[in-house]
């Protein structure tokens, strides 16, 4: 793959792809060297996203402004929780009141 990229790329998009391959080459095949590393990121994509779950349960917001406020406040809350070592995804209602 690197040999193909090091040859003269045919166009701008091919050159951009080759640049990304050269930059990320060590990470591209981690799963080959480490059997414990998954070859895909399906688990992350299939995990429920907290904001999506809230939107589906609550029915969403009524305006684009409401969506931006919800997204911003969720980001701020998750950043704060991460800085304090709080796992919002694994927390239950009882532990959040302590």
Residue found by looking up tokens 């029915």 in the block: 59
Query: Token pair for residue 55?
Result: 């939107």
Q: pTM score > 0.85 for this model?
A: no
Give the residue-averaged pLDDT of 11-21: 84
Structural contact between residues 1 and 26, judged by C-beta atoms closer than 8 angstroms: no
**Residue 93, pLDDT score:** 46
Structural contact between residues 37 and 31, judged by C-beta atoms closer than 8 angstroms: yes
Calpha distance 38→47 (Å, rounded): 15
Question: Out of 23-27, 33-37, 91-95, which region has the weakest mean confidence (pLDDT)?
Answer: 91-95
pLDDT bracket for residue 91 (50, 70, 90): low
Neighbours of 74 (CB within 10 A): 14
Give the residue-averaged pLDDT of 24-39: 83
């Amino acid at each position: 793959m690197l040999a193909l990229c090091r040859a003269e790329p045919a166009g701008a998009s091919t050159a951009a792809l080759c640049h990304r391959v050269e930059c990320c080459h060590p990470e591209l095949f981690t799963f080959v060297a480490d059997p414990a590393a998954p070859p895909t990121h399906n688990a992350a994509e299939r995990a429920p996203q907290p904001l999506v779950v809230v939107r589906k349960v609550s029915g969403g917001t009524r305006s684009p402004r409401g969506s931006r406020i919800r997204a911003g406040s969720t980001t701020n809350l998750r950043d704060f929780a991460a800085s304090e070592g709080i796992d919002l995804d694994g927390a239950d209602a009882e532990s959040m009141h302590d």
